[in-house]
């Protein structure tokens, strides 16, 4: 019998996860199907029960459910608990749901293995203080950057995240307007502004000739952040396609026990 998997979000029709996981399945000869499920926030708890009752084996979780889903699962992995966010759900035979988070390791693997970036001793700026940021901060700090600064429109949320992870490494927080004049080796956009076609008010002075920019979002053309970064003189600017494939591979391994080769799948995407 074909095992069913899928991705939940709102909206979710644009997701490339079905393409990625079907390619993984063909590559590893796994008999699975993978669907998209648009789940409004007020239906999240009930939807998870329906999925478990329907025999679905696992789910990926995307915007806006990564943080909220944590309160509706039965158990959380250490990294999901640390992040306060889950992007992968494992639904066991007894209907119990386990939440995990593969975003951080997906980003780090893309940065280091695919893009050749060295995190150790780097000056890193994360723009935004939502669930996506919580998911990547622990993994980045594990590789010992010189400093990791979280900037947000309002400093309170950024400071909360920095405080939660302060024991893991050098992490601080501020408002967007306080990063003027500072320079970074890596700037990561973790805001959702690009989903609406906007670029938050980032001062262009944060970009130097050697600055690498990375947008957690992705699109068929340059995202607004990537276009902004290129226009203001960064060294390189990347969308989150590599992270998408890398985190998906980690999810697939959790579900199926097979580690797929990400490279042919990555070449299939922009």
CA dihedral 173, 175, 180, 185 (to 10 degrees): 40
**Residue in the block written with tokens 């992968």:** 88
Alpha-helical regions (H) of 110-213? 131-142, 155-164
Q: What span, in angstroms and rounded, lies between the C-alpha atoms of 186 and 189? A: 10
Q: Is 16 a catalytic residue?
A: no
Please identify which of the residues 16, 57, 66, 230 carries the catalytic annotation. Answer: 66
Q: What span, in angstroms and rounded, lies between the C-alpha atoms of 164 and 157? A: 11
Close Cβ partners of 4 (under 8 Å, ≥ 6 residues apart): 32, 33, 34, 35, 54, 55, 56, 57
Return the structure tokens found at 227.
Answer: 């276009």
Residue 93, burial from CB neighbour count under 10 angstroms (0-12, 13-18, 19+): exposed
CA dihedral 228, 230, 236, 241 (to 10 degrees): 50
* CB contact at 8 A, 88 and 61: yes
b/e per residue 157-179 (b: at least 16 CB within 10 A): bbbebbebbeebbebebbebeeb
**Peptide bond before residue 11 is cis, with ω within 30 degrees of 0:** yes
| Residues noted as catalytic | 66
């Amino acid at each position: 019998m074909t095992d069913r998997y899928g991705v939940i979000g709102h909206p979710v029709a644009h997701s490339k996860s079905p393409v990625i996981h079907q390619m993984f399945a063909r590559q590893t000869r796994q008999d699975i199907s993978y669907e998209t499920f648009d789940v409004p926030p007020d239906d999240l708890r009930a939807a998870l029960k329906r999925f478990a009752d329907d025999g679905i084996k696992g789910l990926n979780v995307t915007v806006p459910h990564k943080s909220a889903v944590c309160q509706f699962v039965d158990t959380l992995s250490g990294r999901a608990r640390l992040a306060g966010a889950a992007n992968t759900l494992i639904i066991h035979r007894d209907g119990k749901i386990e939440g995990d988070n593969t975003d951080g390791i997906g980003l780090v693997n893309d940065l280091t293995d695919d893009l050749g970036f060295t995190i150790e001793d780097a000056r890193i700026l994360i723009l935004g203080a939502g669930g996506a940021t919580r998911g990547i901060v622990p993994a980045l700090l594990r590789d010992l950057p010189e400093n990791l600064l979280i900037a947000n429109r309002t400093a309170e949320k950024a400071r909360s995240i920095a405080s939660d992870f302060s024991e893991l490494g050098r992490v601080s927080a501020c408002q967007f307007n306080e990063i003027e004049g500072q320079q970074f080796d890596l700037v990561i956009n973790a805001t959702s502004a690009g989903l609406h076609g906007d670029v938050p008010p980032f001062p262009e002075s944060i970009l130097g000739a050697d600055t690498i920019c990375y947008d957690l979002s992705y699109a068929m053309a340059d995202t607004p952040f990537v276009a902004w970064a290129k226009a203001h003189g960064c060294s390189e600017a990347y969308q989150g396609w590599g992270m998408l494939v890398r985190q998906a591979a980690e999810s697939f391994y959790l579900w199926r026990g097979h580690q797929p080769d990400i490279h042919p799948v990555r070449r299939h995407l922009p």
